[in-house]
Chain A
Amino acid sequence: MKWYKVQALIYREGRIFRNAKYRAVLFLYFPITTIIIWGLFSSSVQGRALETGMLVLIVNVFWNFGQLAQSSTNMAMMDDSFSGSLKHIFVSGVSSTEYILARIITSSLLSAVVVVLLIGLSVYAFQATILLANFSLVVILTCLTLIASIGLSVFVAGMILALGKEYGFLSWSSIQIFVLLSAPFYSISVFPEIIQPVAWVMPFTNIFEGIRQLISAGFVDPTLIVNGAIISVAYLAVSFPFYTAVFRHAKKNGNLVKMGS
């Protein structure tokens, strides 16, 4: 892997972002409006169900952060595909790893800015002071969310390469099923028994469980953090070989050419 190629791709992404400022609106608009909606909900139920309101608000902060970290990686790839420039990047000697790594770095930087904004908004506009009071825990949960989302983004990149350009919608929609099964606002026990083991290995389950515990009990069981870390790293560890194998296969079945031009 050549680092200057990764830097070149990051430079390019930066220029694209600067030239197309509407992208900033795209990335900020949905997360911020979502947090405002649930922040207002949280404020309105303050007297009756403060805990529920906070739970919905804070889970949404992490959900939006995770979604942004994953989808911006995959949407950048789809953007290259639809603009027809993907093939020309790969024929310039950029490897599949250099390409995805650059995307991950850019998305992580972008999402980091957004999550700071979302946390700031929640704390200062909607009194989610619990986030500041447990700042180190919040940082840990944020890192776990980021690692899990990166793992998902690499996995989704592989899926799109395997299935073809027509499945580009996975770049923004795929996270929904993982969040659903990660039990964001409810306990895992609401799932039928057969689903529960699946739910426990979902990327965000331990993170959401940790948030619920933090809000209700004021602490997070370290086991949840450890399990969350293991699962997030496992996603990342499995997704890279999957992506690399699919990329190799896409060169054989012509999918890379179809994706790229």
Chain B
Amino acid sequence: MNIIEVTNVSKKLKSKGKEVFALGNVSFNVKKGEIFGLLGPNGAGKTTMVNILLNVLVQDKGTVSVFGKRIGTDTLEKMNLVSGDIRFQWTLSSKQILEFYGRIYGLTKKEREKRISKLSKLFEIDHFMNRRFSYLSTGERMRLNFAKAMLNKPSLLLLDEPTLGLDPDIAIKVREEIKRVNKKFGTTILLTSHYMNEVEQLCDRIAFMDNGEIAEIGSVRKVLTSGGLFDMIVKVTKVKKPLELRARGFKIRGKTLRKQLKPGESLSTNLSFLSRNGIQVLDVETKRPTLEDYFVRVARRKA
């Protein structure tokens, strides 16, 4: 069952008097219970897409449905947002912020007390419940953000750059939290990030966005292998027949040969080729591409 269905969504926005292309024909869907990543460099259109899903921005073309419905206040009540640039009213204490959102979600006094107490323990925020938002550290704000996001037990959680600007140790904790929320509550999660390792660790499927369009979509493995399964790096005693090697797709740097293997292409076939051409192999190393590599590849394509 699809929780989010986005079909051919396009959006242009005005910036400094000029119309800027923000999204172009974006289509994807997110299944129930999965962690779906929207990945891409700054300005790729990730936050624009999230804003459309949150109904604070309306697309020019295409359709968006959440829980099988057009987005409105009733769908928003079953969703929640954790954003890297979260800012609550600075004079309110953590407890007052949770109390306010609890009321917004229509929880009774008893429900609010119970849930706030449970979440404050879960996200370890109980020691700063009476502290004002303006006095909280970035990590504390993020934990409060998560507690607020779980108040309405959302079926869909949108995480917009949740680890942006966080110290590595806190970012690790946040990632653990995301996994825990997904496993424990079965919450469907849409995550935007430009941290490759974060997406690799967390997501079941990803869409790589570039310039407002989806460049690749599928499982992390599928996206990774879209340009080649892995790299083979071969150290040889002496490079012979360089023209044949280049024709075969090898890149030569000193006594090191490097080749990106395409899907279905085996390592042994290439090693036999080297042996047939009298090239003595000293060492073979294979390198699985990371999303970082994919990111760089897309950036190069753009350049």
Q: Is B244 an interface residue (CB 8 A)?
A: no
CB of B14 to closest CB in A, whole Å = 7
Q: List 18 A-B contacts (CB under 8 A).
A: A2-B106, A5-B104, A7-B103, A16-B92, A19-B92, A19-B132, A20-B91, A83-B88, A84-B87, A88-B86, A90-B54, A90-B56, A91-B76, A91-B79, A94-B104, A253-B13, A257-B56, A260-B56
Q: Which of B81, B90, B93, B100 contacts A8 (CB 8 A)?
A: B100
Q: Are B56 and A95 in contact (CB under 8 A)?
A: no
**What class of interface size applies to chain B in its complex with A?**
35 or more
Point out which of B73, B101, B106 has the most chain A C-beta atoms below 10 A from its C-beta. Answer: B73
Instruction: Tell me the bound Cα distance from A9 to B14 in angstroms.
Output: 32
Q: Which 3 A-B pairs have the closest CB atoms?
A: A84-B87, A8-B103, A93-B76
Instruction: Tell me the bound Cα distance from A8 to B101 in angstroms.
Output: 8
Q: Which residues of B contact A16 (CB under 8 A)?
A: 89, 91-92
For chain A, residues 228 to 261, give those with C-beta under 8 angstroms from any C-beta of chain B. 251-254, 256-257, 260-261
Q: Is B167 an interface residue (CB 8 A)?
A: no
Q: Are A92 and B55 in contact (CB under 8 A)?
A: no
Across the interface, name the chain B residue whose C-beta is closest to A98. Answer: B73
Q: Is B282 an interface residue (CB 8 A)?
A: no
Given contacts A85-B87, A85-B88, contact A92 B101 (CB under 8 A): yes
Q: Are B56 and A12 in contact (CB under 8 A)?
A: no
Given contacts A2-B106, A12-B92, contact A251 B58 (CB under 8 A): yes
Instruction: Tell me the bound Cα distance from A61 to B288 in angstroms.
Output: 76
For chain B, residues 24 to 56, give those with C-beta under 8 angstroms from any C-beta of chain A. 51, 54-56
- CB within 8 Å of B: which residues of A? 2, 4-5, 7-9, 11-12, 15-16, 19-20, 79-80, 83-85, 87-95, 251-254, 256-257, 260-261
Q: Which residues of A contact B293 (CB under 8 A)?
A: none
Given contacts A91-B56, A93-B77, contact A254 B106 (CB under 8 A): no
Q: Are A88 and B74 in contact (CB under 8 A)?
A: no
Q: Is B96 an interface residue (CB 8 A)?
A: yes
Instruction: Tell me the bound Cα distance from A15 to B130 in angstroms.
Output: 13
Q: Which residues of A contact B74 (CB under 8 A)?
A: 93
Given contacts A84-B87, A91-B56, contact A8 B104 (CB under 8 A): yes
Q: Is B57 an interface residue (CB 8 A)?
A: yes
Q: Are A257 and B51 in contact (CB under 8 A)?
A: yes
CB of A153 to closest CB in B, whole Å = 20
Point out which of A89, A92, A251 has the most chain B C-beta atoms below 10 A from its C-beta. Answer: A92
Q: Is B292 an interface residue (CB 8 A)?
A: no
Q: Which residues of B contact A12 (CB under 8 A)?
A: 89, 92, 96, 100
Q: Is B195 an interface residue (CB 8 A)?
A: no
Instruction: Tell me the bound Cα distance from A80 to B81 in angstroms.
Output: 17
CB of A149 to closest CB in B, whole Å = 24
Q: Are A256 and B57 in contact (CB under 8 A)?
A: yes
Point out which of A9, A80, A83, A254 has the most chain B C-beta atoms below 10 A from its C-beta. Answer: A254
Given contacts A93-B104, A254-B14, contact A83 B85 (CB under 8 A): no
Q: Is B105 an interface residue (CB 8 A)?
A: yes
Q: Which residues of A contact B60 (CB under 8 A)?
A: 252
Q: Which residues of A contact B105 (CB under 8 A)?
A: 92-93
Q: Are B92 and A91 in contact (CB under 8 A)?
A: no
Instruction: Tell me the bound Cα distance from A5 to B100 in angstroms.
Output: 9
Q: Are B106 and A4 in contact (CB under 8 A)?
A: yes
For chain B, residues 4 to 24, give those with C-beta under 8 angstroms from any C-beta of chain A. 13-14
Instruction: Tell me the bound Cα distance from A19 to B89 in angstroms.
Output: 11
Q: Are B92 and A253 in contact (CB under 8 A)?
A: no
Q: Are B81 and A88 in contact (CB under 8 A)?
A: yes
Q: Which of B57, B76, B93, B132 contacts A254 (CB 8 A)?
A: B57
